[in-house]
Structure 1
Amino acid sequence: MPTASRRGRRRDTPPPRTGSSEAEVLRGFLDYLRNSMSAKVAGAPEPQVRTAGVPSGTNLLGLLNHLTCVERATFLGEKVTDWQATFHAAPEDSVAEVVTRYRETVERANGVLDGCTDLGEPVTRRRPERPAPSVRWALTHMIEETGRHAGHADILRELIDATTGR
């Protein structure tokens, strides 16, 4: 097991200073967590990035793959039939590809959010046959989901190569 060292430490990034509206605060914190999550995975070494760090099978690359699927389902209306399968990246996917896919999904999700002017209205998305959550609920859910998995990622990355910080 690696020991903590100065070279593995990154400067911790404090929470964002956002605008004062509810939407600015929610989006600011979500983007902060998204950036933290993608930075935690970027540059992680193979094969450790996809190796289970705990008995449940959770691995760093799988967490980011899962969050990509949650973003797509929540903001883009994509259907997920097997949530458990989202916790594993395909063997042929590189770390860079999974990180890029996540960042591109975040960009698309933010495009949807840019068109939402009322947090109480449903998220505008492609699957009108399925009721959409309110923008407020979707943002709060993604903050919770991303924050939870960012905490897991912090621990997994430190176990891999002693890298800490956001």
Structure 2
Amino acid sequence: MAPSSRRTRRVDTPPPRTGNTETEVLRGFLDYLRDSMAAKVEGAPEPQVRTAAVPSGTNLLGLLNHLTCVERATFLGARITDWPATFHASPSDTAADVVTRYRESVTAANAVLERCVDPGAPLPRSRPGKPAPTVRWALAHMIEETGRHAGHADILRELIDGSTGR
């Protein structure tokens, strides 16, 4: 598709103005990135949403599927045995299916975080043989992980249909 015929939507949402505590700031930025990531997948056309646009095989739907797994592993203690496989959604999954699962995982993760008052305390999840990370570490990790993949998603979505912005 020629660049002049691409649709361009420029709706930039500024970073959040959050509360004053460390946890409020970290959660505010994480939720901001989560919303941005889901928005990049919502409304993306098939089959482009699952088509690799780079030699590594990275695709928009796979990125969101991967972040769903990272949310579940980090905050809910899910055991993921094949991380590379998380970058691929099932062929039967629609973009709406993957976005719904992601938002459900985020809601469950936020429910865990609501019970966490000390950022230096471990997350309240059980995973035999593996200590839980601190709330602070988990939030910082998820900001880094989600931000990294949101940047990838920005580029992939623009390549698909010219959509830009957060």
Q: Deviations over 1:48-92 (max 9, x none)?
A: 000001000000000000000000000000000010000000000
* 2:42 counterpart residue number: 42
What SS class does the counterpart of residue 8 from structure 1 fall into? Answer: coil
> Would you say the 8 A contact 1:60–1:157 is kept in 2?
yes
What SS class does the counterpart of residue 74 from structure 2 fall into? Answer: helix
1:52-63 alignment, distance < 5 Å: 52-63=52-63
> Would you say the 8 A contact 1:2–1:160 is kept in 2?
no
> Would you say the 8 A contact 1:2–1:159 is kept in 2?
no
Unaligned segments of structure 1, at least 5 residues: none
* 2:64 counterpart residue number: 64
> Would you say the 8 A contact 1:41–1:61 is kept in 2?
yes
* 2:82 counterpart residue number: 82
Distance across 1 between alignment mates of 2:14 and 2:53: 26
- Shift of the 21–4 alpha-carbon distance from structure 1 to 2, 3 Å rule, reads farther
Unaligned segments of structure 2, at least 5 residues: none
Which amino acid counterpart does residue 104 of structure 1 have in structure 2?
E
> Would you say the 8 A contact 2:126–2:132 is kept in 1?
no
> Would you say the 8 A contact 1:2–1:161 is kept in 2?
no
Identity within the alignment, %: 77
Give the length in aligned residue pairs: 166
Distance across 1 between alignment mates of 2:130 and 2:5: 49
Q: Deviations over 1:118-164 (max 9, x none)?
A: 00000111425420000000000000000000000000000000000
What SS class does the counterpart of residue 13 from structure 2 fall into? Answer: coil
Give 1:7 deviation, angstroms: 4.1
- Shift of the 119–45 alpha-carbon distance from structure 1 to 2, 3 Å rule, reads same
RMSD: 1.3
- Shift of the 115–159 alpha-carbon distance from structure 1 to 2, 3 Å rule, reads same
Give 1:8 deviation, angstroms: 2.2
> Would you say the 8 A contact 2:6–2:162 is kept in 1?
no
What SS class does the counterpart of residue 155 from structure 1 fall into? Answer: helix
1:84-99 alignment, distance < 5 Å: 84-99=84-99
Q: Which runs of 4+ in 1 moved over 3 A?
A: 4-7
> Would you say the 8 A contact 1:2–1:162 is kept in 2?
no
